Amino acid sequence: MSAVAERLRPLTGHRLFWPALVLVIMILANTIYRPGFLSIEVKNGNLYGTPVDILRLSAPLMLVALGMTLVIATGGIDLSVGSLCAISGAIACVVISQAPDPNSLSTVFTALALAFGAALVLGAWNGVLVAVIGIQPIIATLILMVAGRGLAQLLTEGQIVTINSAPYRAIGLGHFLTLPLAIFIALAAALLVAALTRRTALGLIVESVGGNAEASRLAGIRSSRIIFLVYVVSAACAAIAGFMITANVSSADGNAAGLWVELDAILAVVIGGTSLAGGRFSLSGTVLGALIIQTLTTTVYAMDISPQTSLLFKAVVVIAVCLIQAPAFRAKFNRRRRSPRTRPAAAPREKEEVAA
């Protein structure tokens, strides 16, 4: 048994092993509960099925979590990504709804450009507050988290702005090569971020800033610029996610779009193995964490768990995943399981001998 454990130790010691195992277990549980869970069918030349839906619905969360990973790697946090999703979606839908031809590609591209530019400006605002002024990240982004919701509702005048634009709808519901277009958008973003952080020195610089910003500055790295950059990147990812969220329903709701997505993004990052203290990060772990959260959400709906207990159910599963992949918890659990039973102390007998 010990020999098998020694052989499996390199595999079980990998940071992605336990999250991947949890994802496989959830898929197996869903398959047992619903035998057709993994079934995929072809309709009108496109693939449909629960696995495809999980990938499509997890695309916005993947995008937000990718940007959040870089922010957390620098030792920060971005609570405003949900509001940025709402703002970008609101601007795009308002521009399209007021255009003479909502189905025009020029109209859609103009709306996307305006919304994306606004998100970059707001991301730069977060970066200035954190990197230049020196406000704590959780406070700086909390400002935009609260004010951003009000701005989104101001843009939509407190109403749900509905649109009828086929090109914009394609961002969330369109297909390419038989698969949803949203999957390819998220995949392209993940590959781009991976290329910039793993094929260049940018990734090491981000990790060094997160590990010790002052030491990085003394080493010649301009930490403030890196911190400013990651908040802009996070805003860009949130903007694209906002396009997907609003395109899925062909409407913009300033109050509900992207609501609490920042919390799911943080959970995805943590489940993927990135420490909230900053430093080393894992993009592949973040993608896996987003898939776990979306699979868990699908599981809750599939098993008809009541809304009152669904959040509690998700919390228990997330806590279990975090504990399982924590090296300190596993070491303590294994130590307690292997420790032999202690014999009862012989103190009473010693006391009797002394008395005699």
User: Given this model, what pLDDT does residue 11 score?
Assistant: 66
Mean pLDDT, residues 174-197: 94
SS (H, E, C) 100-149: CCCCCHHHHHHHHHHHHHHHHHHHHHHHHHHHHHCCCHHHHHHHHHHHHH
Per-residue pLDDT tens digits for 280-298 = 899 999 999 999 999 988 8
Q: In this predicted structure, what is the pLDDT of residue 6?
A: 64
Residue 213: the pLDDT is: 78
- Judge whether residue 171 has pLDDT over 50: yes
Which residues does 101 contact at the CB level (< 8 Å), separation at least 6? 107
pLDDT of residue 355: 46
Q: Is the pLDDT of residue 130 over 70?
A: yes
pLDDT grade for 356, boundaries at 50, 70 and 90: very low
Per the model's pLDDT, the better-predicted residue between 356 and 304 turns out to be 304
Confidence of residue 8 (pLDDT cuts 50, 70, 90): low
Is 267 in contact with 288 (CB distance < 8 Å)? no
Specify the range with the lowest mean pLDDT, choosing from 180-194, 242-256, 270-284: 270-284
Mean pLDDT, rounded, of the chain:
86
> Phi/psi of residue 81, each to 5°?
-65, -35
- Tokens 């072809």 appear where? 42
Compute the average pLDDT of residues 161-170: 94
Backbone angles phi, psi at 247, to 5 degrees: -70, -30
Q: Is the pLDDT of residue 120 over 90?
A: yes
**Model-level pTM?**
0.87
Query: Within its chain, how far is the Cα of 306 from the centroid?
Result: 24
Which of 26-35, 210-219, 265-274, 302-311 is predicted with the least confidence, judged by mean pLDDT? 302-311
Q: How far apart are CA 40 and CA 48, in angstroms?
A: 6
Question: How many whole angstroms separate alpha carbon 5 and alpha carbon 272?
Answer: 24
Write out 270-330 in H/E/C secondary structure: HHCCCCCCCCCCCHHHHHHHHHHHHHHHHHHHHCCCCHHHHHHHHHHHHHHHHHHHCHHHH
Residue 143, classified by CB atoms within 10 Å of its CB into exposed (0-12), middle (13-18) or buried (19+), is: middle
Q: What is the CA radius of gyration of the chain?
A: 24
Give Dmax over CA atoms of the chain in angstroms. Answer: 106
pLDDT band for 7, please (50, 70, 90 cuts): low
**What pLDDT shows up at residue 275?**
83
Q: Is the predicted pLDDT of residue 47 greater than 70, yes or no?
A: yes
Measured CA to CA, the distance from residue 41 to residue 53 in angstroms comes to 12
Which residue carries 């009541």 as its tokens? 306
Flag the least confident range among 6-15, 59-68, 87-96, 314-323.
6-15
Q: What digits encode the pLDDT tens for the residues 207-258?
A: 999 888 778 887 888 889 999 999 999 999 999 999 999 999 999 998 888 8
Q: In residues, how long is the chain?
A: 356
Q: Is residue 98 over pLDDT 60?
A: yes
Q: Other C-beta atoms within 10 Å of 343: how many?
A: 6
d(CA 199, CA 243): 28
pLDDT number for residue 354: 44
